[in-house]
């Protein structure tokens, strides 16, 4: 299994030929049987061959590799066995979200913000929702930031502390998948 954004490849072993030459054509199709990748590899004898470029997955789904040896003057063509052994399942990318409260300790009247770094996504879009709760778990601030790729994001407004106590920031990425992490700044007078 691979994730969107990862590169998948195929391997083939050619055997039983008489000093085979020519090419092996590797073909990858998606669940709709549409060809999404084709790669030719030169053959110089029996042995193991593989795609050198492969295919970088752009969408989740089940894909099917096939390999065909074209033959030469001394050898007939040959096809792989196909089937489940040549299937590749592509799942969604699993991004991570790391966060830091800024500042970690503040006084009443100061503005606090939250910073988040989104990484490991495959061209992620959507939003990150920053939420701040007080010691009673009451939401005191919420802010949404649009996502346009992996990278650093932060609250633009933040929250101006009105009372001392321990507050909890959390950040949630809402895309095809979500990741939730938070931090706990403490404020004093």
Does residue 11 have a pLDDT over 70?
yes
pLDDT classification of 181: cutoffs 50, 70, 90: very low
Smallest CA-to-CA distance from 14 within 54, 41, 53 is with 41
pLDDT score recorded for residue 179: 44
Mean pLDDT across the chain: 89
pLDDT classification of 55: cutoffs 50, 70, 90: very high
Mean pLDDT (whole number) for 103-116: 93
pTM (predicted TM-score): 0.67
CATH of the domain at 103: 2.60.40.1930
pLDDT score recorded for residue 165: 92
pLDDT score recorded for residue 182: 46
Smallest CA-to-CA distance from 6 within 94, 117, 96 is with 94
Domain that holds residue 112: 96-188
Give the CA diameter of the chain: 88
On whether both 43 and 116 belong to a single domain, the answer is: no
Mean pLDDT (whole number) for 97-124: 92
CATH of the domain at 40: 2.60.40.4070
On whether both 112 and 175 belong to a single domain, the answer is: yes
- Name the token pair of 131: 């939420």
Mean pLDDT (whole number) for 29-54: 96
With a pLDDT cut of 70, the percent of the chain lying above it is: 93
pLDDT for 165-178, tens place per residue? 999 999 999 874 44
pLDDT for 136-163, tens place per residue? 999 999 999 999 999 999 999 999 989 9
DSSP-based three-state secondary structure for 74 = coil
What is the total count of domains within the chain?
2
């Amino acid at each position: 299994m691979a994730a969107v954004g990862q590169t998948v490849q195929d391997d083939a072993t050619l055997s039983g030929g008489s000093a085979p030459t020519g090419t092996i054509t590797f073909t990858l199709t998606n669940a709709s049987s549409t060809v999404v990748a084709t790669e030719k590899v030169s053959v110089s004898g029996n042995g193991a061959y593989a795609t050198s470029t492969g295919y970088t997955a752009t969408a989740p789904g089940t894909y099917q590799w096939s390999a065909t040896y074209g033959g030469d003057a001394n050898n007939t063509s040959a096809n792989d066995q196909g089937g489940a052994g040549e299937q590749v399942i592509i799942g969604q990318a699993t991004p991570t979200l790391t966060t830091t409260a800024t500042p970690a300790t503040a006084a009443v009247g100061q503005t606090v913000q939250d910073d988040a770094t989104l990484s490991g996504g495959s061209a992620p879009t959507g939003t990150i929702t920053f939420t701040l709760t007080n010691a009673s778990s009451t939401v005191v601030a919420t802010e949404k930031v649009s996502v346009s790729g992996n990278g650093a994001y932060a609250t633009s407004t933040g929250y101006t502390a009105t009372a001392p106590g321990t507050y909890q920031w959390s950040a949630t990425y809402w895309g095809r998948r979500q990741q939730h992490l938070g931090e706990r700044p403490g404020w004093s007078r």
